[in-house]
Amino acid sequence: MTLLSEKELEKYSRQILIDKVGIKGQEEIKASSVLLIGCGGLGTSAAQYLVMAGVGKIKIIDFDSVELSNLNRQTLLLEEDIGLKKTEAIAKRLKRINSASEVITQTKKIQKHNINKYLKPYKIILDCTDNFKTRYLINKYCHKNKKILISAALQSFDVQAFAFSSWKNKKNPCYECIFPDIGQKINNSCDQLGIIAPIAGLGGVIQATLTLNVILKNTKEIFQEFISLDCFSRNFRKIKVRKNPECKICNR
Ligand SMILES: [Zn+2]
């Protein structure tokens, strides 16, 4: 007996056909809930594919409004949305893509004082933000509270992506093992560094795919990998990464 309706069996038939998914995997995808922080290029693309894949519950947190300069890379947004809160515009589109997925929004900025309130109910957190300060905050919280963190960063033609569960053992790194916070004020957002349109989509797609791997429990080595795509030189690499013995966050 499956928990999937006739309609769901038809809708997800191309996923269910895959041995690595099957009916059981699709049921696990349906039963999962995911939190996304940041709804720019990464967040819109990741949210879109997670909802299309049948994730049962998705919460998106963002405080920005839609601007004209977002529209070169942020899917789900249209010219008519300019001036609206991103969460509002995106939730509307996600519901039209998959009315069966529960979409919850929070128009807030994640900060030290509210991070626990918003992240606590979720086991899988997608960091789709574009600044080091928030990334360090999310990483610290996820390590301390045993959350799985799926992170990505974008710049010009480059994508970097990771899945973290640094609390699980003595080998898995956290975000700061790779990018230690040395107190420098580095701004690495798209606003400063620029980005070519499809790269944002690609980063979000990789985050969504890593998330589905985690939901389907295909996690062998996934938490010790640095995925790097240089789409200008077409140089795609997977680098093995381990916990940094000097890390201030996860190696205490
Ligand atoms: Zn660490």
- The string of pLDDT tens digits covering residues 88-129 is 999 999 999 999 999 999 999 999 999 999 999 999 999 999
Q: Is residue 12 part of a domain?
A: no
Report how far ligand 1's centroid is from the alpha carbon of 121 (Å): 23
Q: Is residue 230 part of a domain?
A: yes
| b/e 163-202 (16+ beta carbons within 10 angstroms → b) | bbbbeeeeebbbbbbbbebeeeeeeeebeeeebbeebbbb
Report how far ligand 1's centroid is from the alpha carbon of 138 (Å): 13
Residues with CB under 5 A from ligand 1 (ion): 174, 176-177, 247, 249-250
Q: Is residue 5 part of a domain?
A: no
Report how far ligand 1's centroid is from the alpha carbon of 199 (Å): 27
What tokens appear for 48 in the block? 């879109």
Place of tokens 């957190």: 125
Give 169's DSSP letter: S
Cα(65)–Cα(159) distance, integer angstroms: 24
Q: Between 28 and 252, where is the model more confident?
A: 28
Q: What is the pLDDT of residue 2?
A: 74
CB count within 10 Å of CB 65 equals: 16
- The string of pLDDT tens digits covering residues 126-167 is 999 989 999 999 999 999 999 999 999 999 999 999 999 999
Report how far ligand 1's centroid is from the alpha carbon of 105 (Å): 30
Give 79's DSSP letter: G
CATH of the domain at 38: 3.40.50.720
CA atoms within 13 A on the CB side of 170: 2
Query: At 190, is the pLDDT very low, low, confident or very high (cuts 50, 70, 90)?
Result: low
Judged against a pLDDT cut of 90, whether residue 44 lies above it is answered with yes
Q: What is the pLDDT of residue 97?
A: 95
Cβ-contact 216, 141 below 8 angstroms: no
Q: What is the pLDDT of residue 235?
A: 96
Report how far ligand 1's centroid is from the alpha carbon of 167 (Å): 9
Give 102's DSSP letter: E
Angle between helix axes 197-215 and 22-31 (nearest 10 degrees) is 110
Report how far ligand 1's centroid is from the alpha carbon of 125 (Å): 17
User: Among 10-19, 26-35, 36-45, 187-196, where is mean pLDDT lowest?
Assistant: 187-196
Q: How many domains would you assign to the chain?
A: 1
Query: At 183, is the pLDDT very low, low, confident or very high (cuts 50, 70, 90)?
Result: confident
Cα(58)–Cα(55) distance, integer angstroms: 7
Q: Is residue 143 part of a domain?
A: yes
Q: Is residue 249 part of a domain?
A: no
Report how far ligand 1's centroid is from the alpha carbon of 30 (Å): 31
Report how far ligand 1's centroid is from the alpha carbon of 244 (Å): 6
Strands 124-127 and 148-155: parallel
Q: What is the pLDDT of residue 87?
A: 96
Report how far ligand 1's centroid is from the alpha carbon of 174 (Å): 4
Report how far ligand 1's centroid is from the alpha carbon of 179 (Å): 9
Q: Is residue 53 part of a domain?
A: yes
Q: What is the pLDDT of residue 186?
A: 63
- The string of pLDDT tens digits covering residues 198-234 is 999 999 999 999 999 999 999 999 999 999 999 999 9
Amino acid at 82: I
Residues belonging to the chain: 252
pTM of the predicted protein model: 0.95
Report how far ligand 1's centroid is from the alpha carbon of 16 (Å): 36
Kindly tell me the sign of the dihedral angle through the C-alpha atoms of 54, 58, 62, 66. Answer: positive
Q: What is the pLDDT of residue 3?
A: 85
Q: Is residue 29 part of a domain?
A: yes
The per-residue pLDDT of the chain, averaged, comes to 94
Q: Is residue 180 part of a domain?
A: yes
Angle between helix axes 41-53 and 86-97 (nearest 10 degrees) is 20
Q: What is the pLDDT of residue 53?
A: 98
Cβ-contact 150, 127 below 8 angstroms: yes
Share of the chain above pLDDT 70, in %: 96
Q: What is the pLDDT of residue 188?
A: 60
Amino acid at 123: K
Q: Which domain holds residue 213?
A: 17-240
